[in-house]
Amino acid sequence: MVNLREVVDSCANPKVAAAALASIGGGVAAKVRAIAARSGVADGVLVAQLIREFRDHSCPDFVTSAEEAMRRSELPVLAGLQHILAHALARRALADPVELATMAEMPGQEFV
């Protein structure tokens, strides 16, 4: 089974992150693409940045919840990445009312 560290290490690379985001699709990917477009950066660059922020600043409880999401999923890599991105987007939205409004307009997606 893939572990969370492997997901983080792989998706810290913008090219890998872009491919993984395309595989996720749905609401989370749409939210990331909207924020990347507003920020003037490529999707993969934003995902890699969010993954590195997770790697460097995540609390142990959140790491555990991401690992649990991966264990419950038939697509553990995508589930782990989606879990990390959903959390990162929610944190950013709390700091930026425009992002909060954007998130409210787009449905999410779960991999189980």
Question: What per-residue confidence (pLDDT) applies to 17?
Answer: 94
3-state secondary structure of 112: coil
d(CA 31, CA 27): 6
∠ at Cα 12 (109, 21), nearest 5°?
Answer: 30
Q: What is the DSSP string of 3-59?
A: -HHHHHHHHTSHHHHHHHHHHH-HHHHHHHHHHHHHHTS-HHHHHHHHHHHHHHH--
d(CA 18, CA 48): 8
Domain residue spans in the chain? Answer: 4-105
Q: What is the pLDDT of residues 55-78, one digit of tens each?
A: 888 889 989 999 999 999 999 999
Residue 87 has pLDDT above 80, yes or no: yes
**Residue 51: band (very low, low, confident or very high) from pLDDT cuts 50, 70, 90:** very high
Mean pLDDT taken over the chain: 85
The pTM of the full predicted model, rounded to 2 decimals, is 0.79
Question: What per-residue confidence (pLDDT) applies to 112?
Answer: 43
Q: Average the pLDDT over 45-53 and give the result.
A: 93
